[in-house]
Amino acid sequence: MNDIKEKIEELRKTLKYHSDRYYNDDAPEIEDYQYDMMMRELIKLEEKYPEFDEPDSPTKRVGGKADNSFENVVHTVRMESLQDAFSKDEIREFEKRVLDVVNKPKYCVEPKIDGLSVSLEYENGVFVRGSTRGDGNVGEDVSGNIKVIRNVPLKLNKNIPYIEVRGEVYMPKKSFDKVVDRQLLNDEKPFKNPRNAAAGSLRQKDSKVTATRGLDIFIFNVQRVDGVTLTSHKQSLDFLKELGFNTVPNYTLVDNIDSAIAEIDKIGESRGDLEFDIDGAVIKVDDFEMRKALGSTAKFPKWAVAFKYPPEEKQTKLVDIEIAVGRTGVLTPTAVLEPVHLAGTTVSRATLHNQDFINEKGIAVGDVVTVRKAGDIIPEVLCVNEHNSDKIYEFPKYCPSCNSEVVRENDEAAIRCINPDCPAQLLRNLIHFCSRDAMDIEGLGPAILETFVNCNLIEKTEDIYSLTYDKIDSAQLEGFKEKSINNIIISIEKSKENDLGKLIFALGIRHIGAKAGKLLSDHFRDIDSIINANVDDILAIDGYGDIMAESVVEFFKLQKTVDLIKSLKSNGVNMFSKTEVNDTRFSGMTFVLTGTLPTLKRAEAGKIIESFGGKTSSSVSKKTTYVLAGDEAGSKLDKANSLGIKVIDENEFMEMIK
């Protein structure tokens, strides 16, 4: 029995981890199908061994939890999850359970949109609040971001005293492709699929960012309504249409389960033709009185079931391998395939990651390989089915863009071109330099930067600050009117006042992200001190290791860097830290913030800590001074206790800053 208990505990731990990665971090590490199969195994074990029941088991919880970056919203009507079915037999078992309670039910069948579930509330026909599902009971207030979604009506067609509806925010495939293209150009880690892209976009702290992501919404349920009587699901969807909502498409009312299964098959066949992602189809008992009789479990309504489509895999021939050069010089391989129809679309390219992945799979040009769409979106090569060559593919020894010799440094999977003048890296460097977390130059997006590079307005990074109205205007570029040119010039001028930390990140130093750039800036206070620092000086910064420190020192030794900094200085770009330190009571201290604080947001607490000379970290280690913990602190609190790190709550923290 100990083995069974250990297996159950391990499954719970694994599922909680992956649920957190999926719902709260928008960064899943496994496919939905793998997660679903683990959940299925845990459900069976818990049913067979009830003595190992646990109230907090993933089988009894809905979705994620509220993120304390936003205000919490307590749902008056619980936003439940759905029970999954993976076969037609399981759908028929669902029907048997329904027929044990009610007679002659009708079913409404609709596609299961793969996005982020939200609640929208209206008073007297006017939008008042939008919130995420969270754990089903408590979600996040994301009203500002909901408002910028094009199909969210801010005023309904009828003056309803109060109505709360549930919908799914999603990212259309075309929008997803554009976002990923921008991320790849900027050498950022791309979203894995539209669902995670939608979730990440809806949780942006700046609604202007959300507005650029092309999100959309389908409404599929009435949660509460005053002043109107609704008796069935189809009637409620028809009513929602009248109010002006973009309802879930292709919903169909059927008389029996066989017709419902036929609709599921029909929806499945059309998946590839849709402009949005679905991960299944939902069968719902139509009559609301019957739903009341059927009720719910701790997690699922008993009147609905979600059929999940299995991931599709196909074999095809790998006809070539192409190499692209990224912003940091990393060479990335892409498989060119004989076109194959997969998950509703034609696939002709797939990721191969790096040389280690190719070696592990034994991949060679000419092989027959199995391809799958990860998350139904990004094609990947799973394995080799038939080798047509004994020679595994090897990366070129010279950069395909500039013909410089490429290198592979110790302990790195990446092979890179280290020529700082490599033309393939210029555009990506520029995009990174102008991005929001870097110099934040509005108007200089990827498309415009590419145009400026192609017409020789920009040949190196520092040329950005030599742009003038006359230079851009004289290039006679289509679509560049007086106002748009002036806006670009104003944004460039504004960027000169940025904090030094943003400039450090914008320079694109290997291993130095936005937070590391700020640490460097706040520690040394000006660019010249950073340039003159040695490795030991930089290692004095908590959060810096040998690789990061060496990378900074080597970067500022480069003649190209010297020339760039000199040019930026002459153009008036700020070279000093603007972080204000009230006093140094937290100097040398590192805080880790976790859980939901009663009144402070974690970002607010972090700013307070930094204003007193302290630092914040995302992970607990022996270097941690304090862990500031709120409700649902989780694994970071456990680690702090195991290491003997002092844990404080918000009241103690407020005493410390008096």
Alpha carbon distances (Å) from 550 to 403, 414, 429: 26, 18, 21
Place of tokens 């103690």: 652
Residues listed for the chain: 658
Instruction: Tell which residue, 152, 123, 120, has the closest CA to residue 139.
Output: 120
Helix (H) or strand (E) holding 473: helix 469-474
Residue 251 and residue 207 in contact, taking contact as beta carbons nearer than 8 Å: no
Kindly state the tokens that stand for 344: 């509703």
Kindly state the tokens that stand for 637: 């609190």
CA dihedral 261, 264, 266, 271 (to 10 degrees): -160
Distance CA 609, CA 586 (A): 7
Pairing type for strands 162-170 and 216-226 reads antiparallel
Q: Is 52 left (phi over 0), alpha (psi -120 to 50) or beta?
A: alpha
- Write the DSSP string, 187-240: TPPPPSSHHHHHHHHHT-SSHHHHHTTT-EEEEEEEEEEES----BHHHHHHHH
User: Amino acid identity, residue 652?
Assistant: E
Q: Is 170 helix (H, G, I), strand (E, B) or coil?
A: strand
Q: Is 44 helix (H, G, I), strand (E, B) or coil?
A: helix
N- to C-terminal Cα distance for the chain? 54
Instruction: Tell which residue, 7, 28, 8, has the closest CA to residue 18.
Output: 28
Count each helix (H run) and each strand (E run) in the chain, helices first.
Answer: 24, 22
Distance CA 148, CA 82 (A): 28
According to DSSP, residue 117 is labeled: E
**Within 10 Å of residue 546's Cβ, how many Cβ atoms?**
10
Distance CA 213, CA 208 (A): 9
**Within 10 Å of residue 284's Cβ, how many Cβ atoms?**
24
According to DSSP, residue 601 is labeled: -
Distance CA 368, CA 383 (A): 9
Q: Is 502 a catalytic residue?
A: no
Instruction: Tell which residue, 350, 508, 373, 484, has the closest CA to residue 427.
Output: 508
- Write the DSSP string, 602-650: HHHHHHHHHHTT-EEESS--TT--EEEE-BT-THHHHHHHHHT-EEE-H
Point out the catalytic residue in the list 112, 308, 373, 615.
112
Q: Which long-range contacts (CB under 8 A, 24 or more apart) does 527-530 make?
A: 527/500, 527/503, 527/565, 527/569, 527/575, 527/576, 528/575, 530/504, 530/556
Instruction: Tell which residue, 628, 556, 644, 563, has the closest CA to residue 590.
Output: 628
Instruction: Tell which residue, 458, 438, 454, 570, has the closest CA to residue 512.
Output: 438
The angle, 0 to 180 degrees and rounded to 10, between the axes of the packed helices 559-570 and 546-557 is 70
Residues classed as catalytic: 112
